Amino acid sequence: MAVIKATSADHKLLGRLMRAEAEGEGPLGMLMVGNVGVNRIRSNCLDFKGIRTMNQMVFQRPGGFEATVKGYFYQRAREKDARLARRVINGERQHPATNSLWFFDPGRRGCPGAWYNQRNIGRYKAHCFFAPTPRACPRVY
């Protein structure tokens, strides 16, 4: 059962975002990016108050995703990307993105212990993942 309201167009939009942000990290990395996106819609806290739709989440300004700002959000979602997005929308979660609201690629440096006061909860390939405390954002837990 879906954890957020989503149409087939939303599946494609999330799949497109997952592809743009993490295609090089394979299906698991893409699922983690999807987890972060779904968490942002569910959370209604911190930088994501009032974010209720896929479109609002994907194109949020400020604080949105690098792919939509820096010009590499141009490829359509393939069917396999939309299938991955459906899995996340239906509640599948992957560690370390399980409760994350942020991720970034630190380049050759290691992941910092915190990023904008959010704790590091792990890394997968190039991306470091950060989560709020349960007290700050209970809906992502």
Q: Which CATH number fits domain 8-140: 1.10.3720.10, 1.10.287.110, 1.10.287.130, 1.10.10.2520?
A: 1.10.10.2520
What Rg, from alpha-carbon coordinates, does the chain have?
A: 14
Measure Cα distances from 36 to 20, 96, 108, 115, 132 in Å: 14, 10, 22, 15, 12
d(CA 122, CA 5): 28
Q: What is the pLDDT of residue 39?
A: 98
The rounded average pLDDT for each run of 10 residues, N- to C-terminus, in the chain (141 residues) is 96 98 97 98 96 97 90 94 98 98 94 95 97 96 95
Measure Cα distances from 87 to 18, 52, 59, 114 in Å: 12, 19, 21, 29
The values of phi and psi at residue 11, to 5°, are: -60, -45
Q: What is the pLDDT of residue 1?
A: 87
pTM over 0.85: yes
Q: How many CA atoms lie within 13 A of 21 on its CB side?
A: 29
104 forms beta bridges with 128
The values of phi and psi at residue 48, to 5°, are: -115, 20
Q: Where are the domains of the chain?
A: 8-140
